[in-house]
Structure 1
């Protein structure tokens, strides 16, 4: 990626104007001063202008042609446009979501009656392990990153996401890792030790064969994708914002994804280290988790839950960003208490890393230590409560337009409060010891995850569907799907609280008829089928609107954030010209000069790079063109991981095709180099 930088006094003086007034950003006067200074210091055409003539239709057509991916199968493999990759991420994540939901429906049907013979114990172990693994590793975090891959560059006014080829590579790694797990399940080699894979149950003595090996490699594989996406999103937010979009003007959704990305950077290495140590115990003969050889079985729980509990908030915090975005749009006013909302997101992230031991209250850890984790588990409810009150104040002071996306948000309030209350109950050591590993914990988990993340996600999909497809979804079908999902969810999971209090353990494939659990289990199973019907209506609504829905036009919801400032769907380069931001809700801010940036090349993929704090133009960077090497490199990495499952030498010899793929990926192309040099040497 080549760059052109402004030096010393040649840089725009917009930062001085930004620092001189509250809120920062690029004011009209300071931006004009910066553009004038640039005009004197550098030859015409060498720098972007902050107050320029709009591009001509011919320039716009050339610009979008430059940023377009090639057509056909080869172009599909080579694509690097963030919108194309984001759509693939979304479709793949929802595909895994449907697969995980079908597995859950299968289990729920088995438990509808006592001593049911629909599923045997071995298959049931695979079902609940595959269900949990799919939902936690292949859906929950990836789908949030998928939405961010599509939406964040548009919200920031950027032409692309940072490191577009790495973004494509991350998608292919995620896809191949998930397919690897389900291919093993289809051949009766599905993981069967639970999505948490506690040792020694998942160790070589109690889980022979390759089932846990596939699970461990899938975890390492797919979390690599999550780490890459975190790096990409952090760089995009910090360096590719439109001029004037200071940190205190960032949309709350972007703040949520930025906080999530930093959490991924700290949480994911723990589970990758844990899964790598597990597979070396199984394949190489190490003893990280073998107490008889100096290892420690509880080490696995510490490493896993140091990732596992922050992961709940990796799912939850993006959901908070969805809620803030939807409420602001349908309340027709900015979210109340913006600084408090941002600080609450950051506080939630910090506290999330101090809670993992509340999953281990049944172990022999010191009681004094448990008390500190009890306090932390209760304290984390405070920032969530702050955000709820800010949202309620926003709704109370706005002109509420009750559309289907907002209904999902209102359901989020109800379900999250119930899930939060049971979370406070489980934070108490005496109560946790009584209901540990019972269906009470299953109910709490689903109330927090489905209610706190999936309901806002479904509302966000309806909200941004016009931006993705250019067509409006059906409001009537949206309401039908909402009520089916809301009723089905509560009928499914609320009885599980009672089952847990009555002593029904989790992870059992059947139960005796004399325990009195059959009625509540049958009710939960009926709710699960209603929940499935609601999801089916939701998906049918999306399919129908994609095929024959009403054309959306520009900004159909009347939103204030920048992603709606382009067409629906956006063109290849997102915007005809990079916008200049003058407020936290740019589309609700009265028009001011400068309104856009010009001077970037239209025949080369150039992106304006701005400073971290005040988003002052810093330099422009040349972005890479489409290439198949991220796809081929991901295939090579997949080969390496699968090969290593059957022999440790696969991890050695498998690195050879990986090295070849990465070398050719970064090898300079004559055409790209010649094109860049031609633009550099062109007369100004």
Structure 2
């Protein structure tokens, strides 16, 4: 995750005009009054440094977070419209009994793709669009922590979305529901390409979601304004932050489930094959471990939008800020613990039903805290009845209805009656559509001036809200009644005389009214984009930092980086006074802060525009296309392209490897101490730097966290299937420990040499460091060779039995990580030999070392589970 810069003409010109910054650089403090009082020459330098090149080259290579955010918003809204059309066709089919507009197969594909579209291609991406655009602005930063990773996340999302829809025009789209339960989705019952497209598309989409989540987490930790401690975070941040942390641990679960299913369908494995001792219930565990937190992933950022914008129209800060922030975190933590809430009807033991039923009830407490805080904010404020306020107030009602119906299904006896009825469909739409769409539309109206510099039509906006509000409740509330009357979900038609006719007719009418409201909103946005009233920097008189800069913001966001002394900086008592800020104008630079206190810590070199994210995103998509087509050559060529793009991305730049002494100089007392609350007018900070100061060091920690989750779910699958098996475990007898024990020692010894190499580099002993890294590479290759030999000697293969499927999949995943690590160590050895590292610039070396140590620790767990635990199982 090293975003090293490339060169562009404008950036080269800027570097020519601006002298190279010393290894320890000073932050100059200048007054800040909202719009930076800078001379024209400085602003032109900033513009030339940060702007995106015009034309298609800039369009493909830009890493500007605002451009990427708008792409997410527009793309997600297109999928909202597409998913809405699919819903209208289904509602037309269900308007009357015995309707024949669709065949059962067509209906199955429609309701599956509707769910996939709305849940995976709209709900989270649209929130990612808001966060990508707004996070650096509300945090007072120049950009996200990893701009290139940000661009990569979008290109992979777009590739995954296209892949998921690739088979739809041919009538071969996914057709087993968005939850894709086995055995219905296995090759025996669904032999076409439908499910393969869905499985590979979801794995690819998981990569996009994970790298995007990592970017948000590190941005929160490092890219905030000076003085913005955790207690002063904008409330908007908490929702996306908790959702991103959840994605790091939840997405690997569903990605693994889809990959195991793809192996069952294409490689003959037996994870879900009951005839070979597999367990279909494993799918539900893996899927709902992901899907229940995912509900809050697409809800909590929307709640953050409401908590951020609603106070603006109540003319007061959010009530009980700390309680709302803590309730956001608590909601996500509890969300991870109640996945069995969706499995009450699968024959679980009574103790599990009681525990998870109680936990499902408990999760309503933090949600209720947020509701009471919003109501208190409105009640104690002075509401201004602008269009966004209506959307946010309507959201509170939707949230209450969806929450109450969710608590009802948490009661186990009632859940048994409501499972697989339209009551669950109603609850799902109130949670995923009502609680998501209304904040999104309100947020679009609220930040439309910031996005475009214009206001949306106010009167037409209010009409649109009432059409949407009436249409939504008319469309989805009657589904509760249909469900209570026993109408099952996922049926393409129904007979007369069941008592469902009126409710379905009303639901269809409401759905079309809601669609009219969406069309009105889109029309208002398009017209306002060209003819809307011009907005100033802060047309709503809001409190956030994003409103302290022009609308739309300049490429560099803030000419002078602000210093924060309040949770609501533009509403602070001294906001009208000149405020100090930090000036960074000698290149693409941003300020890195300490994670908790928000004190200035490092000046970060930010990457320039690059084609690498686009190339890598396209190549990654074609890797999965090759797997779908069973084309070894296409898969290998695309994978090679991925490796080449990554190497170009991560290659160290000699111009950044400066050799001045690495030290922090003391702050210099200044004359503005009384006005600023600080006794310094400049700070000496390291530029870039090594160790925990480097952005990539923090990024690899998120990679380790999500990879650890992936291996954890793999080992969970092994232990679950082993505990459920009626056969001897392993079937071929206890594993032999001699060769595997030797291999374990070899891998652990390699970590010692990697550590020694880093220590020698920091002591300026390059050649001993090179030879130490060389030995680590040899030991890594020896581990791979012995593992291949052990595979060859096994009396079973990947498809022989369930144990073979588990053994080869788990060790194969680890082997892939080892091979990647060996390649990484080879390049680190080359870079050591070429003198790229020293005691002051060793971020890439630290990153590679962390990754390699993680791979070794993971093997210890695999060795314990695969090789040692069978002795314990046999002994009991």
What TM-score does the superposition give when structure 1 sets the normalisation length?
Answer: 0.90
Partner Cα distance (2:589, 2:22) in 1: 18
Give the one of 496, 517, 520 matched to 1:534: 517
* Change in 2 beyond 3 A, CA 1:675/1:56: farther
TM alignment of 1:158-557, pairs within 5 A: 158-557=141-540
- CA pair 214-44 structure 1, distance change in 2 beyond 3 A: closer
Cα distance between partner residues in 1 of 2:303 and 2:549: 25
Q: Is the 8 A contact 2:240 2:304 kept in 1?
A: yes
Residue 597 of structure 1 aligns to a residue in which SS? strand
Q: Once the 2 structures are TM-superposed, how far is the Cα of residue 321 of structure 1 from its aligned partner?
A: 0.6
Question: Would you say the 8 A contact 1:112–1:522 is kept in 2?
Answer: yes
**What does residue 91 of structure 1 align with?**
74
Report how many aligned residue pairs link the two structures: 639
Distance in 1 separating the partners of 2:3 and 2:645:
22
Give me the whole-angstrom Cα distance separating, in 2, the residues matched to 1:536 and 1:195. 26
| Cα distance change of structure 1 residues 496 and 626 upon mapping to structure 2, 3 Å threshold | same
Q: Is residue 146 of structure 1 aligned with residue 125 of structure 2?
A: no
Contact 2:236-2:308 within 8 A present in 1 as well:
yes
Distance 1:611 1:593, change over 3 A: farther
1:49 paired with 2:19, answer no
Aligned residues of 1:288 and 1:296 also touching (Cα < 8 A): yes
Asked whether 1:661 is paired with 2:645, we answer yes
Q: 1:391 to 1:206 in 2, by over 3 A?
A: same
Rate the CA distance shift 1:148–1:518 in 2: closer, same or farther, 3 A: same
3-state SS of the aligned residue for 1:49?
strand
Contact 1:243 1:610 in 2 (8 A): yes
Partner of 1:560 in structure 2? 543
Change (3 A) 1:462 1:2: closer
Rounded Cα–Cα distance in structure 2 between residues aligned with 1:370 and 1:49: 61
Choose 1 or 2 for highest CA Rg.
2
The answer to whether the 8 Å contact 1:580/1:594 transfers is no
Which range is displaced more, 219-228 or 45-54? 45-54
The whole-number CA distance in structure 2 between the counterparts of 1:533 and 1:412 is 19
| 1:156-204: CA deviation from partner (whole Å, max 9, x where unpaired) | 0001111101110110000111011122101222111110000000111
1:585-611 alpha-carbon deviations (Å, 9 max, x no partner)? 011111388824334233x10111111
Query: Is the 8 Å Cα contact of residues 50 and 580 (structure 1) preserved in structure 2?
Result: no
In 1, Cα distance between equivalents of 2:301 and 2:583: 35
Change in Cα spacing, 1:523 to 1:2, as seen in structure 2 (3 Å) is: closer
8 Å Cα contact 2:559-2:583 kept in structure 1? no
CA distance in 1, matches of 2:648, 2:523: 43
Report the alpha carbon displacement of residue 646 of structure 1 after superposing the two structures with TM: 2.1
Once the two structures are superposed, the pairs formed by residues 590-605 of structure 1 within 5 Å of their partners are 590-591=574-575, 595-602=579-586, 604-605=587-588
Distance 1:43 1:359, change over 3 A: closer
Deviation at 1:667, TM superposition (A): 3.5
Alignment of 1:61-76 (within 5 A): 61-76=44-59
Cα contact 2:562–2:582 (8 A) shared by 1: no
| Relative contact order higher in (CA < 8 Å, ≥ 6 apart) | 1
C-alpha distance in structure 2 between counterparts of 1:475 and 1:135, whole Å: 28
Greater Cα shift, 493-502 or 448-457: 448-457
RMSD across aligned C-alpha pairs, in angstroms? 2.1
Task: State the distance in 2 between where 1:512 and 1:57 align.
Answer: 74
SS of 1:47 mapped into structure 2? strand
> Any unmatched runs of 5+ in structure 1?
4-41
CA distance in structure 2 between the partners assigned to 1:283 and 1:446 by the alignment: 34
Q: CA deviation at 1:651?
A: 4.8
Q: Deviations over 1:337-380 (max 9, x none)?
A: 11111111111011001111111111011111011111111111
What CA deviation, in whole Å up to 9, does each residue of 1:31-71 have, x standing for no partner?
xxxxxxxxxxx999931034569532210121022111110
> Compared with structure 1, are the counterparts of its residues 281 and 160 closer, same or farther at alpha carbon in structure 2 (3 Å cutoff)?
same
Structure 2: gaps spanning 5 or more residues: 5-20, 661-685, 688-876
Shift in Å, 1:2: 8.8
SS in structure 1 at match of 2:298: helix
Distance verdict in 2 for CA 1:43–1:103, change over 3 Å: closer
| Large movers: runs of 4+ above 4 Å | 42-45, 51-54, 650-653, 672-677
Scaled by the length of structure 2, the TM-score of the pair is 0.71
**Alpha-carbon separation, structure 2, partners of 1:106 and 1:611:** 52
